[in-house]
Amino acid sequence: MTKKKLIDPKGRISSGLIAEPVDVINYMDYDLRTVMDKPRSRLAKHLGFNQFQFVSAMAPGWVFGMAIVDLKVVGSGFFYLFDFESGQMFEQSFIQPLARQTEIEPYPENGGARFRKGEVLLTIEPATGGRNVRVNAPGNIQVDLELREDSEPLRLVCPAGYSGWVFTRKSAGLPVQGEVRWGQQIWRTDDNSRGAIDWSCGFMRRETAWNWACLAGVTDDGVSVGLNLAAGVNETGMTENALWLNGQCIKLGAARFEFDRYQPETNWRVTTEDGKVALTFVPSGVRKERLNAWVLASNFRQFVGTFQGTVEDDSGKKIPVAGLRGLMEDHFARW
């Protein structure tokens, strides 16, 4: 069987939603050029291609998040767990110069991702119908989670800047099983636990900023819900916004985030222009990071909290979202 590649034989991409799985991100075949139309070198293409994966698991009492990032000049990995009962955020983050021991295979459907620093190992590996997420780190930190039933992701290619592009593959509301051990404490998933996967790569804009929302859980009426919303990124005539109800993906319109950037611990409001999402987010904890180092900069705040409000299915039925856990993000990046 011929594998589906993102870049065509002439070095071009076709932007928009992609219904069929993309097997290979053959980015070195892309006809990347400068703003003055001069072809870029193979080295420039290699160094300019960024990749990251973020996975999360949301249970009624806790939220776990983990990322592996390859920016070529630097690699990074972080993971955290927020416990709603104690209000405590457990987190660790690591940097690898020149992205040493950082690997993200360019296969969105069946590729793995690995980050190692010393005795710390983070992995995201393909599994039947989903992903296995594992962490091993000193201090008796062990994570073993399996995200399943990843059958209806949203796949999208968007132009980025003058000659770049971003490919993203998103899923939310996935059943998740496993546990997180941190020291002497253990958090286990239950029947209402759900997860999300964010697989993104491309020749991204040198400077960009975005807001992002993700939730995953089961409503009081037993509906499995997943949500991915973004504003400020992947919006060139299309969006990456989607709602998953019992595993079915529903495309959404543009999202609007209302919050106070300088008092972000106050409540947020997020809606979509098609009226299908009307939610309030109450933050409980935050993972934040500021980096200003020559070519790279990041002002990153990812809030863990609780959503209230409604989402709407394709028939127009409003589904109450009361107490489901999720994430809100405010991020500036220069890479």
User: Each residue of 86-117: pLDDT tens digit?
Assistant: 999 999 999 999 999 999 999 999 999 999 99
- Its pTM stands at 0.95
Q: For the chain, what are the domain ranges?
A: 16-334
d(CA 51, CA 93): 17
For residue 160, count other CB atoms closer than 10 A to its CB.
20
40: pLDDT confidence band, cut at 50, 70 and 90? very high
pLDDT attached to residue 293 = 67
Question: Taking 80 as the threshold, does the pLDDT of residue 236 lie above it?
Answer: no
299: pLDDT confidence band, cut at 50, 70 and 90? confident
Tokens of 309: 């409000």
- CA distances 33 to 41, 47, 235, 264, Å, are 9, 14, 22, 39
Mean pLDDT of 247-253: 96
The conformation of residue 48, written as its DSSP 8-state character, comes to H
Q: Which amino acid, one-letter code, is at 90?
A: F
d(CA 5, CA 173): 27
Q: What is the CATH number of domain 16-334?
A: 2.40.370.10
Nearest to 172 by CA among 215, 229, 231: 215
User: Each residue of 150-209: pLDDT tens digit?
Assistant: 999 999 999 998 999 999 999 999 999 999 999 999 999 999 999 999 999 999 988 888
41: pLDDT confidence band, cut at 50, 70 and 90? very high
